[in-house]
Chain A
Amino acid sequence: MDVSQMQGQLIDYTASLFREGFLDDQFTQLQQLQDESNPDFVFEVVSLFFEDSERLLNDLGRALTQQIVDFKKVDAHVHQLKGSSSSIGAQRVKNACVAFRNFCEEQNTEGCLRCLQQVKQEYFLVKNKLESLFRLEQQILAAGGSIPMVE
């Protein structure tokens, strides 16, 4: 596959992620911050997000399976996750977190567990998508092309 075909593929894929709501405008903002002094900015931020989120999800899992659930702590974790996901533009994850927080306020353990599942699902989906995106970008760069930006 030659470079322009790969670029076309990347453009289509990115467009689809936006269309389907996985990513929002904030991700575009991140892409704009990438420049020659900071060539791997997006990758670094997203990697950090993956680390953070996985830790938070584990903590959440543990906290919700306690005998007595500390909703304050759970809320704090969800707040963190919401913050991270909105910072990188992971729209669906963020929306799931918002729903999660509502259940926390109501102190509804069942609801929270359901939400946690939802959040996990969304998280793994977006993680998958982003990893594919990065792979495509690496391929293009390896073939000597440059990353096009879709408007």
Chain B
Amino acid sequence: MESCNCIEPQWPADELLMKYQYISDFFIALAYFSIPLELIYFVKKSALFPYRWVLVQFGAFIVLCGATHLINLWTFSTHSRTVEVVITTAKVLTAFVSCVTALMLVHIIPDLLSVKTRELFLKNKAAQLDREMGLIRTQEETGRHVRMLTHEIRSTLDRHTILKTTLIELGRTLALEECALWMPTRTGLELQLSYTLRHQNPVGFTVPIHLPVINQVFSSDRAVKIPPNSPVARLRHIAEKYMPGEVVAVRVPLLHLSNFQIYDWPELSTKRYALMVLMLPSDSARHWRGHELELVQVAVALSHAAILEESMRARDLLMEQNVALDLARREAETAIRARNDFLAVMNHEMRTPMHAIIALSSLLQETELKPEQRLMVETILKSSSLLATLINDVLDLSRLEDGSLELDLVTFNLHAVFKEVVQLIKPIASVKKLSVSISFALDLPEYAIGDEKRLMQTILNIVGNAVKFSKEGSISIAAGIAKSEPLLDARAPDFFPVPSDSHFYLRVQVKDSGLGINPQEIPKLFNKFAQNQSVANRNSDGSGLGLAICKRFVNLMEGHIWIESEGLGKGCTASFIVKLGIAGRSNEPDHRVVPLNRVQANFPGLKVLILDDNGVSRMVTKGLLMHLGCDVTVTSSTDECLRVVSPEYNVVFMDLGMHGTSGYEVAMRINERITKRHERPLIVALTGNTDRATKDNCFRVGMKGVLLKPISLEKMRSVLSELLERGTLRQS
């Protein structure tokens, strides 16, 4: 046996170790053989692997390594030279392949690595493209929405609808949680919630306009993100803990439609803005993106453009109308001028001879005349007075007809008007033995605002007619407030007297027991120049214009007048309703600024103290003062008075004829008690005796006036007025 170059193992001693090596080598070989098999299997499966021949190389390398290890198995025991040769060959091959592989790998591994980077790069690129695609898609969608919005917003030209539509469309397009529009109030100091998308009743919420967040939005022409807890974004109840998502606000320019100056129509006439607030839903993690904000701005611009268009159109229409109206007005003015000229001339021409006739006839009447002559002169006078009245009436009526008559509104005493009418009519009525009575409803105010003269003229005319057409019996006048129920007059079914805070409707009814009127004649009564022909009016005078004029006056006072009669001989009832203003309301000028010769109607809140030991007289004075609206306290003895008196009281009315005490002493004690002059109440004496001595005594102790008992309502009223004006009743 030739000696081999391998190391001679010591057989018996390392048999175990040998055995292990044997087994390990075997397994290594197995693994080394299976790896390429796996590789091949998987490569066959994958279609994309570009380095096949590297695999082959690698496979060869592995196989050879395996083979080497396998052949090693035979070297553990003595072995022949053939084995040696095989091993050597195998090792040489293996070495060669390994080196080649190692060399190749130097090239391949960077490639492989770069594959990985390229892969990453490609992934990024893909993601980016994805995003860009998404963007383009959104933009296309936005474009579609804008077209839709434009279409919707421009489909109507009504200002409010435009804004509302903008709101709705934006809400829909951007899938908003809530969208609100805040409009400036008339005062311009607050913004009021006018419309919201989802909230049902947006009333009453106001927000002052000068909040910093609002100023920020108004000063920028872009949509601005605002904090979700600002007052304009808080639309739900404060009790609910709800935080909306991101909120954006944008200003919406409003047009000042009140100013239509034709020559001054700048584009910058919009100084007022409304605020539109848009809220994203809070549960989605959405944020306001650039294109969405732009969309909002586009929508706002669209709405503004639409409104401008509408306004332009309105302006053009108005201009045309203006021109037409101007022309019409000028024509009407010319016509009126012509008529006035005519009337003035005719007026003058007619009145001058009239005046001469009347004057000379009156003078003639004064001279010595025979009875027949006197009769003739009287007839002339009567006829000419009639003619003069006729001329006046015609003048009045023509002025009434063309509406150039204006009511002269003053505050006047309603009760006094009626009383004066009765005074005027009493002589005639008593000659005819007619009794005249008035009844006022309890709720009829004493004072009213209206045209006193013409109201009196109307009442006088109607009452005069009643007297004229009654031969006997009585005339009753009833005045009250018209209730807001429809009149029972079939000719005016649409007339509803509806009272308001500042106006009431006066209803007057004059009933007489005279000749009556045929119901068929009634419609003609208010026509001009119509007279009641069915009665022989031998002693009738008047132009027949009276009722026509009354009707014009009543119409001017926004009222209605009508006559009812059951027939001839059954009397007749004339009624009318007119609108009058309520006196003593807050739109009246401040009472303290009343001029000297104007007596105050009422003295609300004036604190008055009465001292009088006579119960009846005390009660009467108290009633008087309470009727005038004062706050009255009564005392019946000097002690009580001195106990009660204080600077709170404005006036003290003291009866001088009190038994056992001197009113002068009380006055002095009051003035001593209240030392400050301006705090002292004004003390006025009431007495049955107003001689010089009493008056002097009163003024000496510091009283401001002396009044004679019993005192009338009117007198008390003027006394209180004067006291408040001048602080004294003394004539200096």
| A residues lining the B interface (CB < 8 Å) | 4, 7-8, 11-12, 25-26, 29-30, 32-33, 35-39, 41, 44-45, 48-49, 51-52, 76, 79-80, 82-84, 86-89, 146-151
Contact = CB atoms under 8 A, between A and B. Distances in A.
Nearest to A41: B623
Contacts of B603: none
B688 A151 contact: no
Contacts of A149: 437-440
Interface stretch (B297-305, B451-459, B705-713): B705-713
B319 interface: no
Contact of A79 (B426, B624, B657): B657
Contacts, number: 104
B620 A30 contact: yes
Interface of B: 419, 422-423, 426, 435-443, 474, 476, 478, 613-617, 619-620, 623-624, 626-627, 657, 659-660, 688, 709-710, 712-713
B710 A26 contact: yes
20 contacts: A7-B437, A7-B439, A12-B435, A29-B712, A32-B627, A33-B620, A38-B623, A45-B619, A48-B615, A48-B616, A80-B613, A83-B709, A86-B688, A87-B710, A88-B616, A89-B710, A148-B476, A149-B437, A149-B439, A151-B419
Contacts of A38: 623, 626-627
Contact of B619 (A4, A48, A148): A48
A23 to B, nearest CB: 13
Contacts of B435: 8, 11-12
Contact of B438 (A25, A29, A33, A148): A148
Contacts of B616: 45, 48-49, 52, 83-84, 87-88
B657 A148 contact: no
A67 to B, nearest CB: 23
Contacts of A30: 620, 623
A15 B626 CA distance: 27
A120 B710 CA distance: 22
Contact of A52 (B439, B615, B620): B615
A109 B640 CA distance: 35
A88 to B, nearest CB: 6
A30 to B, nearest CB: 7
A88 B617 CA distance: 8
A35 B627 contact: yes
Contacts of A29: 624, 710, 712-713
A7 B615 CA distance: 31
Given A32-B713, A83-B688, A86-B688, A39 B442 contact: yes
B620 A80 contact: no
A89 B620 CA distance: 11
A146 B626 CA distance: 23
A90 B517 CA distance: 44
A45 B620 contact: yes
A70 to B, nearest CB: 13
Nearest to A88: B616
Given A45-B620, A79-B659, A35 B442 contact: yes
Which one of B474, B613, B614 has the highest number of Cβ atoms from chain A below 10 Å of its Cβ? B614
A84 B624 contact: no
A30 B688 CA distance: 18
A107 to B, nearest CB: 19
Nearest to B435: A11
A6 to B, nearest CB: 12
A80 B419 CA distance: 34
Contacts of A33: 620, 623-624, 626-627, 713
A151 B423 contact: yes
Given A86-B709, A87-B620, A88-B620, A8 B657 contact: no
Nearest to A14: B437
A92 B426 CA distance: 27
Contact of A76 (B626, B659, B713): B659
Nearest to B629: A37
Contact of B439 (A37, A49, A80, A148): A148
Contacts of A49: 616
Contacts of A76: 659-660
A8 B474 contact: yes
B437 A11 contact: yes
Contacts of A37: 626
Contacts of A41: 623
B125 to A, nearest CB: 94
A86 B710 contact: yes
A126 B233 CA distance: 80
A84 B426 contact: no
A141 to B, nearest CB: 11
A132 to B, nearest CB: 19
A31 to B, nearest CB: 10
Given A29-B713, A45-B620, A146-B478, 6 more contacts: A29-B710, A29-B712, A45-B619, A83-B709, A146-B439, A151-B419
Contacts of B419: 151
A76 B661 CA distance: 12
B659 A80 contact: yes
Contact of B614 (A11, A44, A83): A83
Contacts of A48: 615-616, 619
Pairs of residues from A and B, 7 with the lowest C-beta to C-beta distance, nearest first? A148-B439, A84-B616, A87-B617, A36-B442, A87-B620, A83-B614, A33-B627
Contacts of B614: 52, 80, 83-84, 87
Contacts of A7: 437, 439, 476
B657 A83 contact: yes
A88 B442 CA distance: 21
A32 B441 CA distance: 12
Nearest to A148: B439
